[in-house]
Structure 1
Amino acid sequence: MLLFTMFLMGIVLGFTGTGGSGFIIALLVVAFGIPIHTALGVSLASMVFSTFTGSISHFREGNVNIRIGLAMGGFGALGAYAGTWISSGIDSNRLVWMTGSMLILSGILIWIRTRLAAAKQQDGKDGNPETSPLPMPFWISVMFSGIGTGLLSGVFGIGSTPFIQLALLILFGLSLRQAVGTTMLVITPIAIFASLGFLQNGHFDWLLLLKVTVGTMIGSYVGAKFTKRAPKLILRISMMSVPIAGGLLLLVRNWLLV
């Protein structure tokens, strides 16, 4: 049942093009009774495979800014590893509330991100990866954005996709196409080091990871076939709805248990 559920979840994630670790967390906790800390570690570990293969594909398509991606991902890995130790010290019920709220915020930010991208296209701007629209030196920008998004991933177990993409759009002036591809590269080391942190803290399940990874990878391949066929408005609504639905699922579950 878990493998089949992850297959269906993969179809949704493949269609929306989102990392989806947040909704996976919600399903594992609410539907299958997995402890929240273990769900965080497994969901992040499953992202390692999808983001790694995804970043290779985007690199071949010319959608990745290597310099920004590696620098931001390196700082993000440090923040993610530190975040897992913070997460392990948070009470399970409180962590469910915090993760649920962060997922809802992620959905709102995804909507803002797509609005910004649409405005860029209307203005005829494609973004310049060599200059930053904000007057901040490159290494200060990647350090704060990398560590900040890495901490979010480590503490709450989410991929921080909308946060990373907003930073790439606003701080570095990348186009949406470049922001999407570079985000995959940034998330890969974040997911690796976050997974390592949860593993060292004893919050991990290898068999569960196998089921989640196999199910979502197969489902994502199927779901991606429908992306180009969907109207843009439907796609934007779906991208926003997935993390919000996951967040609400966690919050309602905790509210019913109080």
Structure 2
Amino acid sequence: MLLASVFGVVMGLVLGLTGAGGGILAVPALVLGLGWSMTQAAPVALFAVGSAAAVGAIDGLHHGLVRYRAALLIALLGAVFSPLGIYFAHQLPEKILMLLFSLLMVMVAVRMLRRERQDAGPSDHGHANWGQKNCMLDQQTGRFSWTAKCTATLAALGAVTGVVSGLLGVGGGFLIVPAFKQLTDVQMRGIVATSLMVISLISLIGVIGAFHAGVFINATGAVFIFASIVGMLIGRKIASHMPARVLQLGFASVCLVVAGCMLFRA
């Protein structure tokens, strides 16, 4: 129970600080730390990530940071495609799932280690010129200009996120955050808040699908979920006081170490 509490707090902390990455640590924590199988760990990890993300998303909505229309579109497509990922998760051997998860962690670590340009400014607008990104904010209303290109881009992101979420038991923030940075001119605070809302919605659908398939959460899993919510609250409090680059380097290093452990076990 103590290990479940510690791992849960750490996962929630990472999710609160970065808007991504919590789920990608939750599964290894349950598999390597508690000895669970991938199929056992995935729904509990999803439940924990979704619950913690929901707390952060509510806070983001309160401060007007969530791009809720974009979040709902991504989550809708994620909900449609998440059962497909769950289906494949039950068809593939355990070793293949662990290998895929390890490779995913390496990919995330490499992306985090790359030094990225920081978008400064007090508003939630980036510095891209009109037309440079697939989805642009209207400078007068502060909302997305919903072109066909923008809608298709966000829908495709939701579909990919849903499949990966169902397959590996992750919330998808590691996909949503970099995609939003690359494809939109939303500032980082808005990206993190929107990502948390999407994660909470997609995770909820994944959990419902897992329950429908006969999965249940035991007492240890419940402790892990509660601890993740506590970690999220702490992470949201200290996020503004931590240098982003320090968070990136630390998280990437942890990902590489855990990926190595997962590969060794696989």
Asked if these proteins are the same fold (TM beyond 0.5), I'd say: yes
Q: Secondary structure at the match of 1:121?
A: coil
Deviation at 1:127, TM superposition (A): 5.5
The answer for the alignment partner of 2:56 in structure 1 is 54
C-alpha separation in 2, matches of 1:89 and 1:242: 29
Deviation at 1:225, TM superposition (A): 4.7
Contact 1:88/1:201 (<8 A) preserved: no
The answer for the alignment partner of 1:196 in structure 2 is 208
The answer for the alignment partner of 1:35 in structure 2 is 37
Q: How many residues align?
A: 249
Deviation at 1:243, TM superposition (A): 3.3
Q: Select which of 51, 69, 72 maps to 1:70.
A: 72
C-alpha separation in 2, matches of 1:242 and 1:102: 13
Q: Deviations over 1:59-79 (max 9, x none)?
A: 111211111111111111212
Q: Secondary structure at the match of 1:64?
A: coil
Establish whether residue 244 from structure 1 lines up as the match of residue 256 from structure 2: yes
Deviation at 1:23, TM superposition (A): 1.5
**Residues 140/226 of structure 1: CA separation in 2 closer, same or farther (3 Å cut):** closer
Q: Secondary structure at the match of 2:64?
A: coil
- TM-score w.r.t. the length of structure 2 is 0.81
Q: Deviations over 1:173-217 (max 9, x none)?
A: 322222111111111221011112222333442423311112222
The answer for the alignment partner of 1:208 in structure 2 is 220
The answer for the alignment partner of 2:170 in structure 1 is 158
C-alpha separation in 1, matches of 2:37 and 2:103: 18
**Residues 60/127 of structure 1: CA separation in 2 closer, same or farther (3 Å cut):** farther
The answer for the alignment partner of 1:121 in structure 2 is 120
The answer for the alignment partner of 1:168 in structure 2 is 180
Q: Percent identity?
A: 19
Moved more, 26-35 or 166-175: 166-175
Establish whether residue 25 from structure 1 lines up as the match of residue 27 from structure 2: yes
Q: Where is the helix percentage greater, Structure 1 or Structure 2?
A: 1
The answer for the alignment partner of 2:194 in structure 1 is 182
C-alpha separation in 2, matches of 1:22 and 1:145: 18
**Residues 127/194 of structure 1: CA separation in 2 closer, same or farther (3 Å cut):** farther
C-alpha separation in 2, matches of 1:14 and 1:143: 23
C-alpha separation in 2, matches of 1:76 and 1:127: 29
5+ residue gaps, structure 2, are 136-147
Deviation at 1:132, TM superposition (A): 7.2
C-alpha separation in 2, matches of 1:224 and 1:55: 10
CA RMSD of aligned residues (A): 2.8
**Residues 232/182 of structure 1: CA separation in 2 closer, same or farther (3 Å cut):** closer
Residue identity matched to 1:115? E
Moved more, 153-162 or 86-95: 153-162
C-alpha separation in 1, matches of 2:127 and 2:166: 30
- TM-score w.r.t. the length of structure 1 is 0.84
Moved more, 232-241 or 13-22: 13-22
Residue identity matched to 1:249? C
Establish whether residue 103 from structure 1 lines up as the match of residue 105 from structure 2: yes
C-alpha separation in 2, matches of 1:11 and 1:166: 19
Residue identity matched to 2:249? I
**Residues 105/127 of structure 1: CA separation in 2 closer, same or farther (3 Å cut):** same
